[in-house]
Structure 1
Amino acid sequence: MRTFKEIFEEYGADYQKTIARFMGNEKMYMKFLGMLFQDPSMEKLGQALKDKDYGEAFTAAHTLKGVTANMGLTPLFDRVCAIVEPLRLGEAREDYPDMYREIEDEFHRVEGLRDELSEVI
């Protein structure tokens, strides 16, 4: 059976730095990871992009950026960062729907990560 660390690192996250933020407590990390799926920022980002409300989209994306950075979810963080800067500048871009789909896909990967990690805790 793979360990929490192995699963986490296979996802593309830095185990040492991330778990250190949670005082070395994997169970505490899992509690906070679960809260990510209760946060409305993903939904708000998607709706704001549909509405072309780039200010609201920026706010939601910036929140996701901070949360994913703190959670050490590097692949998701990278995808969120790609949308944050053009939104910060208020750019109206045609590729926002594609960028959002990439974020959604990665978000679903994190759901799988959560499930895998839950099995070893």
Structure 2
Amino acid sequence: MEIRNVYEELGQENYSAVKDRFCGNENLLAKFVVKFLQDPTFQNLEGSVNEGDRQGIEMNAHTLKGVAGNLGFCILQSVCADLVDCIRSGNDDQIPELFERVKNTYTNIIHVIEKLD
């Protein structure tokens, strides 16, 4: 699978814009997308959720939102933003549901990235 196909399979319609962020260099984009597999932010977020650490949840969800946005993973960016907003507005009862959405979206992205050549 090529990098363009990752974005197509994920239903991201912004491939050209993302590629432009990397000066049109698909190899450079692919390098950073593969590095996403080693990024510890999701695991840190999951740990914060399991520990009930509101500050950790906010920080890690915000960080993951930024990384997702930079790589053009707009759906992940959006669900992370919802989780950040939930924490900031004090709606702690929504954390489990929103984290589950983040987790499902993240897991899907990881499975697709792992198909890269």
Please indicate, yes or no, whether the TM-score normalized by the shorter chain is above 0.5. Answer: yes
Q: Against the structure 1 CA distance between its residues 7 and 92, is the aligned structure 2 distance closer, same or farther, given a 3 Å change threshold? A: closer
Aligned to 1:102: 101
Q: Counterpart of 2:31? A: 31
How many residues align? The count is 116
Q: RMSD between aligned alpha carbons? A: 1.9
Identity of aligned residues (%): 25
Which aligned pairs between 1:1-121 and structure 2 lie closer than 5 A? 4-5=3-4, 7-13=6-12, 14-89=14-89, 91-116=90-115, 118-119=116-117
Secondary structure in 2 matching 1:94: helix
Q: TM-score, normalised by structure 2?
A: 0.86
Runs of 4+ aligned structure 1 residues displaced above 2 Å come to: 2-7
TM-score (norm 1): 0.83
Structure 2: gaps (5+ residues): none
Tell me, yes or no, if the aligned pair for 2:86 and 2:95 is still in contact at 8 Å: no
| 39 and 10 in structure 1: CA distance in 2 versus 1, 3 angstrom threshold | closer
Mind listing any 5+ residue stretches in structure 1 that lack a counterpart? Answer: none
Structure 1 residue 18: deviation in Å?
Answer: 0.5
The answer to whether the 8 Å contact 1:61/1:83 transfers is yes
Native 8 Å contact 2:6 2:113 kept in 1: no
Work out whether residues 12 and 73 of structure 1, in 8 Å CA contact, stay in contact via their aligned partners in 2: no
Q: 1:108, CA displacement in angstroms?
A: 1.4
Q: Is the 1:30–1:114 Cα contact (8 Å) retained in structure 2?
A: no
* Distance of 1:7 and 1:111 partners within structure 2: 10
Aligned mates of 1:46, 1:65 — CA distance in 2? 14
